[in-house]
Chains A and B, each alone.
Chain A
């Protein structure tokens, strides 16, 4: 099955700086890669996603890049704000699309 690894597990940045979270996956059949933000006590919220036929996607301060050859994808948050503090999870789909495989999460703290 798919194996998704995520780094770093914790990340602290100063407000206004950028944050980068990286993930790798193992199954070349995966073609959909979502990123979720999870705040304490809440469910994961989809913040951005990318498909394997695209190398980069941007939505305001958030961007995702995908290197299909190397099987890795990254989340970039620019001009971080305190409300960006949360746990972020990457995911990749199984080859059947029946399930998501999640990374182990990155706890992001934005220091005011």
Chain B
């Protein structure tokens, strides 16, 4: 059973460009979470999605950031008009049940904004 998959693993963008990060949850998992990790810091929650629905986006910046988890295909975290402060590692986690239960993390996408 493959784990959570994320791609690309590394992404370099110039200021003003768009970044699209993809996450395929573990097989059978319909709950997806996105977290951001700045260097030397812990992970910070961004958004929680179930298939086709955003459940909680309280941690996501109101502008430039969006997320989706379509009926078919991976979850996408999209950052428009990237700025240097967006440089971070972005991790996706998935869960089979949601709620106060296990989340399994992918290897992350390391975004560098030049």
Interface of A toward B, CB cutoff 8 Å: 6, 30-32, 34, 36, 42-46, 49, 89, 93, 96-105
The verdict on B108 contacting chain A, using a C-beta distance below 8 Å, is yes
Interface of B toward A, CB cutoff 8 Å: 4, 6, 33, 35, 41-45, 48, 55-56, 58-59, 91, 98-108
Which of B35, B44, B48 is A98 in contact with, Cβ under 8 Å? B48
Tally A-B pairs: CB < 8 A. 59
How many Å lie between the Cα of A42 and that of B106 in the bound state?
Answer: 8
Whether the Cβ atoms of B91 and A93 lie closer than 8 Å is no
Whether the Cβ atoms of B99 and A97 lie closer than 8 Å is yes
Question: For residue A96, which residue of chain B has the nearest CB?
Answer: B56
How many Å lie between the Cα of A34 and that of B108 in the bound state?
Answer: 19
Question: For residue B3, which residue of chain A has the nearest CB?
Answer: A43
**Between-chain CB contacts (< 8 Å), 14 pairs:** A34-B103, A36-B105, A43-B4, A43-B106, A43-B108, A45-B105, A46-B105, A93-B100, A99-B45, A99-B56, A99-B59, A100-B35, A102-B42, A104-B41
